[in-house]
Amino acid sequence: MKFLITGGAGFIGSAVVRLLLTSTTHQVLNVDKLTYAGNLASLDSVAQNRNYHFIQADIADRLAMDAIFADFQPDVVMHLAAESHVDRSIDGPAAFIHSNILGTYSLLESARAYYLALTADQKSQFRFHHISTDEVFGDLSIEDDKFNEATAYAPSSPYSASKAASDHLVRAWHRTYGLPIVITNCSNNYGPYHFPEKLIPLMIINALHGKPLPVYGSGDQIRDWLFVEDHAAALLTVALEGTIGETYLVGGNNEKTNLEVVQSICALLNELVTEKPADIQDFNQLISFVADRPGHDLRYAIDATKLQESLGWQPKETFESGLRKTVLWYLENTAWWQAVLNGSYRLERLGQGN
């Protein structure tokens, strides 16, 4: 089969691309605009695979997307391209409106035009899989039940509002135009190749440099953590086996406060790092509490029962095993994140398209 992956140079997208190319014989076309969060170095291990192709393009560019559909003729679209950082959405929401709403609209229209021209047999194979977030549901109190597929939308940030809008568009294109879609909403991902602005890699890298580990408020915000490779496996399962028109929630069943996450990172670094930065005896001493983020959601938690029971997916990693793998990866792959920090990863993009 032919898989068109949007945002395949991003954190989750690159995990999906790597999984497809290492565990299947499907063809993969990675379409990525290569914003700051797109890093082709995350795909070095599969870049020479004969089934892999890359095109740099903006999903909001309708002409470019029409040409890509016509040339590649995908069987499955997995739409992961998105702006995804809450703090950035607060400081500059325009990019989130452009990519997450206008980009999704443009991609849907290209997909619809392509789908309508397919034969009946080809139509029966085609899927448009939209990958979203649990943040569209707002937040939960400590006592509330976990999010499920029937939870009402109540986004809190420009980021989550833009993703909620994209979810609604995808469902509307299914109901109004008959586009065969599936949707997934996931909890917080973590793992290798995570962009250093996000909580877990930021804490690891700051600690290794002896810098403060800033924790919002008192650090009591709760997130459900999902190892990125478990998420990629879930996405492939839904793309191939999910029921058309259905939504599936993907979670790791690992609720942790942000402070617990940071303390767990410190414990692993205390164990694994033999040469600590100057004057650091215990990485926990770097933890500092800073003013809370505006509108900070208290708790996210996902009930993944539907996905587990209907499609048989189960996460392989516990939070403890996944976090250990993640910390070890950052300790062993300093060149990857140092290139992100110094900006050189953006200079390596020239000549990468094919």
The answer to whether 226 and 187 are in contact (CB under 8 A) is yes
Q: What mean pLDDT comes out for the span 2-24? A: 98
Task: Give dist(CA 17, CA 5) in Å, integer.
Answer: 8
Say which DSSP state 117 is in: T
Q: What pTM value is reported for the model? A: 0.95
Asked if the structure places residue 354 within a domain, the reply is: no
Helix, strand, coil fractions of the chain, as percent rounded to 5: 45, 15, 35
Catalytic pick among 32, 58, 83, 134: 134
What is the side-by-side strand order in the sheet with 181-186? 52-56, 27-32, 2-6, 76-79, 127-133, 181-186, 247-250
Asked if the structure places residue 126 within a domain, the reply is: yes
30, with CB counted inside 10 A (0-12, 13-18, 19+), is buried
Catalytic pick among 32, 75, 83, 135: 135
The answer to whether 83 and 145 are in contact (CB under 8 A) is no
The string of pLDDT tens digits covering residues 112-122 is 999 999 999 99
Residue 240 corresponds to which amino acid? L
Asked if the structure places residue 66 within a domain, the reply is: yes
Q: Does residue 295 surpass a pLDDT of 90?
A: no
Residue 160 corresponds to which amino acid? S
Asked if the structure places residue 94 within a domain, the reply is: yes
- Backbone conformation region of residue 284, classed left if phi is above 0, alpha if psi is from -120 to 50, else beta: alpha
Q: Is 279 tagged catalytic?
A: no
Strand partners, 6: 31, 79
The string of pLDDT tens digits covering residues 316-342 is 999 999 999 999 999 999 999 999 999
Count of domains observed in the chain: 1
- Interhelix angle for 62-72 vs 103-116, to 10°? 40
Mean confidence (pLDDT) of the chain: 95
Asked if the structure places residue 84 within a domain, the reply is: yes
Q: Does residue 166 surpass a pLDDT of 80?
A: yes
Q: Is 216 tagged catalytic?
A: no
Q: Does residue 292 surpass a pLDDT of 80?
A: yes
Q: Is 145 tagged catalytic?
A: no
The whole domain housing 136 covers 2-349
Which CATH number do you get for residue 243?
3.40.50.720
Residue 312 corresponds to which amino acid? G
Task: Give dist(CA 34, CA 22) in Å, integer.
Answer: 23
- Binning pLDDT at 50, 70 and 90, where does residue 200 land? very high
Asked if the structure places residue 138 within a domain, the reply is: yes
Catalytic pick among 52, 105, 159, 190: 159
Asked if the structure places residue 328 within a domain, the reply is: yes
Close Cβ partners of 342 (under 8 Å, ≥ 6 residues apart): none
Asked if the structure places residue 107 within a domain, the reply is: yes
Task: Give dist(CA 119, CA 243) in Å, integer.
Answer: 20
